[in-house]
Structure 1
Amino acid sequence: MPPRICMRSLLDGLNASLTTTSRLPIRTFSSTSPISAAARKKRKHATLDRYAAAQLERNRLANRTRQAELRAEDALAAGDPVHGRPTPFVESFDAAIDLPDLSPDADSPPAPPAARLKHFFDPDEIEQTLSKAQHLAHPINTAPAHPGDTSPFAELLENHTLQHQTATEAIARITSLTQANNEDLLRVNIQRCIDVFGRHSTDSTLPRKALAASPGPNLSPAAGRRDPAPVPRAGPDTGSSEVQIAILTAKIRAVANALETRGTTDKVTKRDLRLLVHRRQKLLQYLRRKERGGPRWVNVIEKLGLTEATWKGEISL
């Protein structure tokens, strides 16, 4: 016969096993991920009252508005990446008129600048040609002239004078830049840029930049050293950075004015403007790095009205 099991012993064993199990650490498992920072922040804001939530939203809106104002102020201070700021020399590109020399070193009053004409004409050459034409077309006097003479020769002489005046006015209108097209204006402006910013002209007026002191093993520090004297040039300077920047500024102004009249539908002109602006930006960065804020850099920036927006940062048009 099977042994008889006491109910009391069974209950005591069961209680002992439960007591041992309850002493073990119980580990809980959760299928959900931990709460993120954004969700915790959202839950915290949800617990706020309506007044605190409205005040928080008001502060956030004021912060965004202030940031937009600061960005607008920075953009205004940086200037226009295309036009820069207006200067007399840049504004003279529209009419291709030379400005008088207003330097404080000049003792005498500034002389009027020489007029520039279309088609590579020289004013002195035109004046000599007109004088020679007037002399060749002058009528021949076959009779002695008397005061109050009303002979046919007097009428011929008067007609000849009137015809010469008419021809002079016609030649002046034909060769004047007031009726020139964009190509003639750009050609004259390029020549003006070469004459103003070329080193064949500025070497005698602008001081040479200071070199960094680099003493050798047997040399003393040469504080305040300057660039060596410039080598005499065989012709006008057309390839320096200053001249190229000035020429690009003249082209940019011409293209920008044409784009304003045609509208934004002219994609080709807009692309040309973007290429010219970026090319000028690279030259400006090179000149600034090379001159280290020297007199040539200051001369280019002041005369052309170039701001930080024309060379600093990213330019998007």
Structure 2
Amino acid sequence: MQPLVCNLSSSLASLQISTAVRAVSRLPTKRLAGPLLSLRHSQNLSKRPFQIASLHTSSPLNAGRKRKPPSNPWAIAKAAEKREKVTARKEELRKIRQDAASDPVVGHTTPFLEAMDLSPAMLPPIDHLVPATDAHERQEAFEKAIFEERLGRLNHYLQPDEVKISLARSKALEDPPLYAVTEKSVLQGKEMHLKATAAMNRILSLSNGSSKDKTRANKTWCVETFGRHITDEKFPQPKHPSIASNPGTDPIKTPRVGRDTGSSEVQAALLTMKIRTLAQQLETNKHDKMNKRNLRVMVHKRQKLLKYLKRKERGGQRYQYVMESLGLDDAAIMKEVFI
């Protein structure tokens, strides 16, 4: 008897549940709370008799309606004024960020990069600068013209100081002996010396050199600017004594001999020189895909070198000096660069 009673009770319970669900499905839509909350039966309830009613948070009457715009003119004007202010402020901030950020490829303009990119102008002949007038006036005009021709970076591996010393020595050798000194010979000797100085300035100027000469001069400029044989006096290496070090037994570090051409900052400067040259060439040849890939490789290699320098120098003065001279910022070496 007990199994039969259990089966009857379970059948009655299932019948009651199905009857209750059908009754709920026949009920009309009723609001539960608020204008946006309603309880309505599902559309597919006839196919699925045991599916409970679905809950929607919006009324079906408002489904196809559009929101009515505000009719207050004062509110409309204030909203438009606020939008204009926000748009103007966004544009101002965008310009500030754009001006402050540097190009991750060529960087912003710095005195070092300007000197590297500068192409010396051709010097005119000295006779065109100085007309043939009185001897004393011609002498003063010669001296003024020579003074204006300042010696910058020279060709043929020469420095301005070396040229000045050589010219002074040649003048001393050309001076006439004391027994033959006259006012005319002195003026003539000075004029010849000034002409020789002007001629040497033109011979040694990079304006008369080839592109290879200019590249070689730029490499020398990078080494002399960032080489540690020069910058060690300006940025001394901080000493961090180790607990395990023993000054008596530790080997002495070999001192540097010659110029520094392999440090991270020198290599980064040389890569910057090549990058700027290649980027300038790609501006005219935009479809040169091979050089575009070479440019990307060099930019990423410079990123690695500057990351290593920052980690090694702990973001110190040497690292800041290199970044300021090359016109780069931390975003140019820490973020991904797309070319």
Q: TM-score, normalised by structure 2?
A: 0.54
Cα gap change, 1:21/1:305 in structure 2, threshold over 3 Å: closer, same or farther?
closer
User: Does residue 50 of structure 1 match 2:67?
Assistant: yes
User: Does residue 84 of structure 1 match 2:107?
Assistant: yes
- In the alignment, structure 1 segments of 5+ residues that lack a partner are 1-17, 31-39, 98-112, 220-227
1:103: which partner in 2? Answer: none
Q: CA deviation at 1:47?
A: 5.1
1:22: which partner in 2? Answer: 15
Whether the aligned pair in 1 keeps the contact of 2:226 and 2:265 (CA below 8 Å) is yes
User: Does residue 307 of structure 1 match 2:329?
Assistant: yes
Q: CA deviation at 1:271?
A: 3.0
RMSD between aligned alpha carbons?
Answer: 5.0
2:24: which partner in 1? Answer: none
1:208: which partner in 2? Answer: 237
SS for the counterpart of 1:120 is coil
AA matched with 1:235:
G
How far apart, CA to CA, are the structure 2 residues paired with 1:135 and 1:246? 42
1:12: which partner in 2? Answer: none
Whether the aligned pair in 2 keeps the contact of 1:194 and 1:243 (CA below 8 Å) is yes
SS for the counterpart of 2:338 is coil
The one-character-per-residue Cα deviations of 1:178-213 (angstroms, maximum 9, x if unpaired) are: 3433322221121121112111111122132364x8
User: Does residue 120 of structure 1 match 2:157?
Assistant: yes
AA matched with 1:242:
E
1:192: which partner in 2? Answer: 221
Cα gap change, 1:49/1:120 in structure 2, threshold over 3 Å: closer, same or farther?
same
Whether the aligned pair in 2 keeps the contact of 1:95 and 1:185 (CA below 8 Å) is no
Whether the aligned pair in 2 keeps the contact of 1:94 and 1:185 (CA below 8 Å) is no
Q: Number of residues paired by the alignment?
A: 246
2:318: which partner in 1? Answer: 296
AA matched with 2:235:
L
Between 1:123-132 and 1:230-239, the stretch displaced more is 123-132
Whether the aligned pair in 1 keeps the contact of 2:275 and 2:299 (CA below 8 Å) is yes
Cα gap change, 1:193/1:52 in structure 2, threshold over 3 Å: closer, same or farther?
same
Q: CA deviation at 1:232?
A: 2.2
Superposed, 1:118-267 pairs within 5 Å as: 118-121=155-158, 124=162, 128=166, 169-209=198-238, 211=240, 231-260=254-283, 262-267=284-289
How far apart, CA to CA, are the structure 2 residues paired with 1:114 and 1:45? 83
AA matched with 1:188:
A
The one-character-per-residue Cα deviations of 1:247-281 (angstroms, maximum 9, x if unpaired) are: 12222222233333x24233344333222222111
Q: CA deviation at 1:131?
A: 7.2
Q: CA deviation at 1:239?
A: 0.6
Cα gap change, 1:303/1:96 in structure 2, threshold over 3 Å: closer, same or farther?
farther
Whether the aligned pair in 2 keeps the contact of 1:78 and 1:308 (CA below 8 Å) is no
AA matched with 2:330:
E
AA matched with 1:292:
R
Q: TM-score, normalised by structure 1?
A: 0.57
How far apart, CA to CA, are the structure 1 residues paired with 2:62 and 2:102? 42
- Bigger relative contact order, structure 1 or 2 (CA pairs below 8 A, ≥6 apart): 1
Identical residues among aligned pairs (%): 39
Whether the aligned pair in 2 keeps the contact of 1:96 and 1:188 (CA below 8 Å) is no
Whether the aligned pair in 1 keeps the contact of 2:102 and 2:327 (CA below 8 Å) is no
Cα gap change, 1:249/1:134 in structure 2, threshold over 3 Å: closer, same or farther?
same
The one-character-per-residue Cα deviations of 1:138-183 (angstroms, maximum 9, x if unpaired) are: 99xxxx979799xxxx9xx97x998876665444323201343332
Q: CA deviation at 1:309?
A: 3.5
